[in-house]
């Protein structure tokens, strides 16, 4: 039986940076790791690190090239786990040194001390229409066709989507958030985990539900915060800015 991967003391978790041409905080955060100002033992990227990055679309790859290359350089020295989100997907093959966890492999269970932690970006479970859309938009054949169409129109499709995303307010509070998440947590009842941790919602909240502790990481785009893992004397995700 394959052993579960472990989360180390000093690992850093960061989620939902949504980097774009107007917001480059994630790139600067990575520069701090490259320079040694920050020294994580592992790096967990919890999805939507880019406002839009699709591995099959040439324009988006080149637009984000410097951050892609910097991530690959960092991953030569420390473990980097990249959980694909709804803004960054089809990434396998784009990075040489990162461990890419696509939506089909999420949620994934990791160990930390004696705790089993369920990690995901957070967008996998939704209504039927959402699940259908999620499946279609990640289809490799469709993405290849989209890339050809995008090239033929001078990247007009990608540029239009990117422009719309840059205008979007991503830092709003979700009403009845706890009730929404508790319905979702019931899907995990048979997985024997202690903690469920994810991004996606940008709410920076945690609470108990039945046997779980639930953690929703904050959006780095909203408050430039990330989380450092402390294992002793007890497991904690310590928020840093």
Q: Higher model confidence: residue 129 or residue 48?
A: 48
Residue 197 token pair: 């941790």
pTM comes to 0.95
Residue 132 token pair: 């259908």
State percent of the chain over pLDDT 70.
97
Tell me what pLDDT residue 127 has. 67
Statement: residue 53 has pLDDT above 90? yes
Residue 60 token pair: 């988006």
Statement: residue 183 has pLDDT above 80? yes
Q: How confident is the model at residue 159 (pLDDT cuts 50, 70, 90)?
A: very high
CA end-to-end distance (rounded Å), the chain: 39
pLDDT digits (tens, 9 = 90+) for 103-133: 999 999 999 988 999 999 999 876 667 677 7
User: C-alpha angle 145/121/125, rounded to 5°?
Assistant: 80
Tell me what pLDDT residue 37 has. 97
Distance CA 57, CA 44 (A): 24
- Domains assigned to the chain: 12-240 (3.60.21.10)
Average pLDDT over the chain reads: 93
Least confident of 23-37, 91-105, 118-132: 118-132
Tell me what pLDDT residue 126 has. 67
Statement: residue 1 has pLDDT above 60? no
Tell me what pLDDT residue 176 has. 94
CA atoms within 13 A on the CB side of 38: 22
Burial class (CB in 10 A: 0-12, 13-18, 19+), 58: middle
């Amino acid at each position: 039986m394959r052993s579960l991967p472990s989360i180390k003391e000093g690992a850093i978790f960061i989620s939902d940076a949504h980097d774009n041409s107007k917001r480059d905080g994630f790139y600067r955060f990575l520069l701090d790791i490259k320079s040694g100002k920050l020294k994580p033992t592992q790096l967990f990227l919890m999805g939507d690190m880019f406002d839009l990055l699709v591995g099959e679309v040439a324009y988006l790859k080149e637009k984000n090239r410097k951050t892609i290359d910097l991530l690959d350089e960092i991953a030569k020295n420390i473990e980097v786990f990249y959980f694909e989100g709804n803004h960054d997907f089809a990434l396998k093959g784009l990075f040489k040194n990162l461990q890419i966890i696509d939506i089909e492999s999420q949620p994934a269970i990791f160990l930390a001390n004696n705790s089993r932690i369920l990690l995901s970006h957070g967008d996998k479970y939704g209504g039927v229409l959402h699940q259908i859309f999620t499946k279609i938009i990640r289809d490799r054949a469709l993405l290849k066709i989209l890339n050809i169409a995008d090239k033929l129109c001078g990247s007009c499709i990608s540029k239009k989507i990117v422009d719309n995303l840059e205008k979007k307010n991503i830092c709003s509070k979700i009403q009845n958030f706890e009730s929404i998440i508790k319905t979702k947590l019931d899907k995990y009842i048979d997985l024997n985990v202690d903690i469920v941790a994810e991004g996606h919602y940008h709410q920076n909240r945690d609470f108990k539900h039945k046997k779980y502790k639930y953690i929703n990481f904050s959006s780095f785009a909203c408050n430039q915060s990330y989380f450092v893992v402390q294992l002793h004397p007890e497991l904690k995700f310590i928020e840093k800015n």
